[in-house]
Structure 1
Amino acid sequence: MIVEAAGRLFFAAGSARVSMDDLARTLGMSKKTIYRHFPDKRSLLAAVLERQFAAVERTLVAAAEDAEGQPFGERVQRFLIAAGGELGRIGAAQLATGRGDAMVRQCVEQHVDAVVYRRLDELFQDGHRRGLLTAPPELLSEITRGALERVLTSQLPRELAWTAADLLRATVDTVLHGAIRSAHPGNDDEQLLPVVPAARRDEEEVGP
């Protein structure tokens, strides 16, 4: 109950702005009771992050299962969009790169590496084993990591009037176009689809 309430407060207002007094008032209990379970705010935030990244991992596992049997490009696309959405939801990029507690930054970085990037590496390695990649999987992993982190902290969604998902689709298409081979020459099934921003898709569906 304490971790759940702390998570709501930390991610709504930012952990630096939430005191243990704020949390005690929200829970209707004394700080002494909270300190029985968590000796300090850092240990509580670490527990919140553990809970959040467990939810991220469940989402990524579900996304991978849903994409099973799909063309490789579609699998990569779905994974990155799911990962970007989850990391954006919990503010992982801001926690990992912003000012604040070094322990928190390290904790976030370790979780992102274990939960997101390890799975991304495995996905590219699988594509390499299947002969679907023209570039080394290690290179694609590094490029895609940088692109994912940059998109999460970028102002481009607002400047371009694109959703974060649109940007991630465009990122995957740009980074991997030409790197993913078609399973059957002349067949475009293994190629990523062109990106159409959400706003433009809406206009096309409505018509003139």
Structure 2
Amino acid sequence: MEAAGRLFFGSGLARVSMDDLARELGMSKKTIYRHFPDKRSLLAAVLDHQFAAVEHTLAAATEDAAGQPFAVRVQRFLIAAGGELGRIGAPQLAAGRGDTMLRQYVEQRVDAVVYQRIDELFREGHEQGLLPAPPELLSEITRGSLERLLMSELPRDLDWTAADLLRATVDTVLYGAIRPTGQGVDDERPRAVIPTARDDEQEVGP
């Protein structure tokens, strides 16, 4: 499984055959097939192993940030999540060609391991009055931003690390692109919310 993981995530799933894996391990394909009947079952086992590692990393990031300001907790979790998803190529696996069942599996694991925890964080922040915007809206924006970022060429074009880009993305999504001078990322004072049509209707009254 370790050898398969190196090949799958190094060369790309479609480019790796069972012959490649057999050569890497110095054994026959027949020996591999005794444990895994086909490439898909082997890949599923590798993904299980990888997502277990992702869960461990995110749990550690959550624990390390315990007791920190809400903004710091969200930022550290998303940076850790982005790093892990990028490391195993989860966005590419979920959106790319190949086995439909494996794509669905990756989507389900990413949702359970990452996005459900993000949803919980945003609901917590909203309940505490730290996030005036609806948590469902923030979740959708953050999901789209994270996946698009990991699929883009921005790290190369801007010469930024993934962590740098994720910090800027989280900061912009949660607090806006324009900030008064001297206001830091750890400042948790509620920000102004752009007025909506519903706000206008409530102000007019009967």
TM-score class normalised by the smaller sequence: 0.7 to 0.9
2:110 aligns with one of 112, 116, 121: 112
1:6-155 equivalent positions in 2, closer than 5 A: 6-155=4-153
Aligned to 1:196: none
Give the structure 2 partner of residue 184 of structure 1: none
- Find the counterpart in structure 2 of residue 158 from structure 1: 156
**Counterpart amino acid of residue 143 in structure 2:** R
Q: 1:39-79, CA deviations, whole angstroms, 9 ceiling, x for partnerless residues?
A: 11001001111110110110000000011111101111001
Paired letter, 2:113: V
Q: Which position in structure 1 is the counterpart of 2:195? A: none
- Cα shift readout 1:109-153 (whole Å, capped 9, x = no counterpart): 111001000111111111122221101111111110000001001
State the aligned residue count.
180
Deviation of 1:87 (Å): 0.5
Q: Name the aligned partner's letter for residue 172 of structure 1.
A: V
> For residue 159 of structure 2, what is the amino acid of its counterpart?
A
Residue 185 of structure 1 corresponds to which residue in structure 2?
none
**Aligned counterparts of 1:167 and 1:20: Cα–Cα separation in 2:** 36
Moved more, 76-85 or 12-21: 12-21
Query: 1:189: which partner in 2?
Result: 187
Q: Which protein is bigger by CA-based radius of gyration?
A: 2
TM-score of the superposition, structure 1-length normalised? 0.83
Shift of 1:154: 1.0
> What amino acid is the match of 1:51?
H
Ranges in structure 2 where 5+ consecutive residues have no aligned partner: 177-185, 190-206
- Percent identity, aligned pairs only, is 81
Aligned partner letter, 2:20: D
Secondary structure at 1:140's aligned position in 2?
helix
Report the Cα offset of residue 189 of structure 1: 3.4
Gaps of 5+ in 1: 179-187, 192-208
Distance 2:158 2:7 in 1: 31
User: What is the one-letter code of the residue matched to 1:50?
Assistant: D
Once residues 24 and 152 of structure 2 are traced to their aligned partners in structure 1, the CA distance between those partners, rounded to angstroms, is 33
Give me the CA root mean square deviation: 1.3
Equivalent in the alignment of 1:4: 2
Q: Hey, which bits of structure 1, 4+ residues long, moved more than 4 A?
A: none
Match of 1:131, SS? coil
Given the alignment of the two structures, is residue 171 of structure 1 paired with residue 169 of structure 2, yes or no?
Answer: yes
Q: Structure 1 stretch 160-169 or stretch 45-54: which is displaced more?
A: 160-169
Q: Return 80-89 or 97-106, whichever deviates more.
A: 97-106
